[in-house]
Each structure stands twice: as C-alpha cells, then as structure tokens.
Amino acid sequence: MSASDYKWTSEVNKKTALVNEAVYLKYVCEFNKDAGLYTIDFNPNQTTNQYDLHLLKESKNSYEFVAFMKEAGRVDFSFDTTMKKTTLESIAEMTGGLDNEKAKDGFEKEFVKHKTLTLHVEKSSVDLVGDFSLEIKRDEADKKAFSPYHFDVIIKGVGNFQNIKPLEFKIEGVKVFTQKPTKNFTLTKEGYSGEWSQKFAFVAQNSFNIEEFRIEYFDLKSSSVKELKSKSTSVNITAGYQRETLLDTDKEEEFSYRYLLFALFLISGFLVGKIKFKKEKLPSKESILFNKKVEKTTSVDELLILLILEDKKEYKDIIRKIESDNRMSLNQAKKLVGI
C-alpha cells in the first residue's frame, strides 16, 4: 500500500478562540485510485483537559467536528488515522495463502498522522459564548390565592447551550415548583443551535414579586459581554381558594368517618373466621378525606392546587405531569391521583 493512493487535508476555522467557544474542524481524504478498497478508522479522543470534541458530520472520506474549548493556552489538535486496504494478498492471507503481518484481519493497515492544527485559547470572564436572546412567558398579573402563577424562561440562539445552568427562585411565603430544563438544540459549526427553556409555577396566598435575573454571555459578533435580562414581575393575589376549604376536615365528614371505620371493624371481625383473604391495611382517615376532596374538584387547576397544598413527596411527579400537559382533562388528572 502506498500513501500516494490518497491524500489527507485538514483545517480549523479560527486561529484564536475563547474558553467555552465552539471551534470547527474538518478532515478530508482525497483518493487518487482504488477508493472503494479502503476503509478509514478515524476515532479521535472525545474529551481531553483542553477541549470536548463532538462529531458533527461523517461520510466515507470526510469528517467534521466541533470542539468546545475548556482552558486557556495553546491547543494542538494532533490526530491519528488507520487506513485499511483490502488487497488480493490480504485475502490470500485470510485463507492461509501468505504470511504477511500487515494483512491480518483481511486488510493491509497503515497509520497516518494528521497535520497538527494549532489554536490559541484565551480566558473568558463568562461561561456562555455565542449569540443568545431571552423570552419570558408569564400569566396575567392578577391571580387568586393559591392559584398557580406560570412563568416560563426561554433562551434561543447558538453557542455552548450545554453550559446553561438551571435557574432558582426563592421567595418568602411562596412555594416554587419547577421542571428540569428542556433542551431542544442541534450541533452546528458555530456550536449548539436552538433553544433552552425552564417552566416555573408560583403558589402563594399573598401578593409577591419575582425579582429580575441576569445571565451574562460573550457576544462573538460584537466581541463584548452582554446580558440576558428579565424585568421584575409583580403578582397581585386576590381572594380566591382558601386552604381551609381545600384541606381541613369538617365535623360531618369526621362523624361519618368514625361510623364507617366502626362498621368496617365489625364486618372484618365477622368475616375473618369465614373467609380466607389477604390482610390489607385500612385506609387512613386523612387519605379517605383527601380522596373525597379530590372527587369534589371541578377543574384541573383546583385539583392541582389541592395537590400542591397537600405538600407530599408522592404527589410531586403527578404535579409535574399535570403542569406539563395543557390538554389533560380533569378525569385523566384524577386517574393519576388514583381516583
């Protein structure tokens, strides 16, 4: 096998970059003849101390990568490739006809060291590098007490989206519910392109403020640090749902519950000697009353508030499912609770 059968070319799209910036690399093998006989084994390290490498596109003789830089200094992209060629001799070797060390596994192999591509990486004062924009979707400012106030954060653009961290809000007297961020982006030459979003629901009895937040990023077009900034939001809470009406026990329900429990006790005592059955734990007073409250709810929002105010770990996943599906009916939501 002769290296004159092919020629490798390589390129990097910039000579300098910032930490966290995306860098595009391309490697192409041009064949003079017998291209169909060759197999290319090109698998560079995906992660090093200096960069994270992601495969963008691959064809029979072309490879494109995007590297996200991790530390400042000189970076050398120095990769190796194994060229495998099928020949008559290698086929004969497989059938025991020749003694050729190069022809093991049916191939003649040659190791190619690519031209080193050098890049100088500079420090960055911020974690995000690229081109981004911020969009906030929020409910109307007036809400009933204990009614969820929805607040969605959406970041669009291109860059190192994978470095965006989840947001947190801590407001006194307010329960804050959130989902894991949704990541809807694809890899391009400039980095990841698409959007990142996170949904929040705020539940409170009294009016409250959602303070502004800022996310800094380095804008490559203007070569300057910019901000994604939200405005402060005031939520006005009016009289509406009352915690007592949603959760507290009234005397009539407590009275009927005592008699129900007494009746169950008598019946179970009579049947235990007559029928063999599995011993099951009786539902607690609280669970029976809570199920009645669930049955009485007349809307998905009212059911959601009831679950939020119950404040039990077992309902958190149900709350998330209801919050994430705007088309869910009341009956479907009640089934999730077990009603």
**How far apart, in whole angstroms, are the C-alpha atoms of residue 333 and residue 323?**
10
Predicted confidence at residue 88, as pLDDT, reads 65
Q: Which pair of structure tokens corresponds to residue 25?
A: 């690399």
Q: What is the DSSP code string of 178-197?
A: E-PPEEEEEEETTEEEEEEE
Q: Which two tokens stand for residue 299?
A: 């809307």
271: burial class by Cβ within 10 Å (0-12, 13-18, 19+)?
exposed
Supply the pLDDT for residue 257: 41
Instruction: Name the H helices within 174-250.
Output: 243-247
Distance of CA 151 to the CA centre of its chain: 18
pLDDT value at residue 132: 97
Contacts for 101 with CB less than 8 Å, ≥ 6 apart = none
Burial of 234 (0-12, 13-18, 19+ CB in 10 A): exposed
Alpha-carbon torsion 237, 238, 240, 243, what sign?
positive
Extract the tokens encoding 226: 């910019």
Q: State residue 104's pLDDT score.
A: 53
- pLDDT value of position 318: 86
Each of the 339 residues of the chain gets a pLDDT tens digit; together they read: 455 789 999 999 999 999 999 999 999 999 988 788 889 999 998 899 999 999 999 998 999 999 999 999 999 999 999 999 887 665 555 555 545 554 455 678 899 999 999 999 999 999 999 999 999 999 999 999 988 999 999 999 999 999 999 999 999 999 999 988 999 999 999 999 999 999 999 999 999 999 999 999 999 999 999 999 999 999 999 986 555 555 554 443 333 444 344 444 444 554 445 545 454 555 676 777 778 888 888 888 778 887 887 767 788 888 888 878 878 888 888 888 887
What SS3 state is found at 275? Answer: coil
Exposed, middle or buried: residue 20 (CB in 10 Å: 0-12, 13-18, 19+)?
buried
Tokens matching residue 65: 């990568």
Spatial distance between the Cα atoms of 201 and 196, rounded to a whole number of angstroms: 17
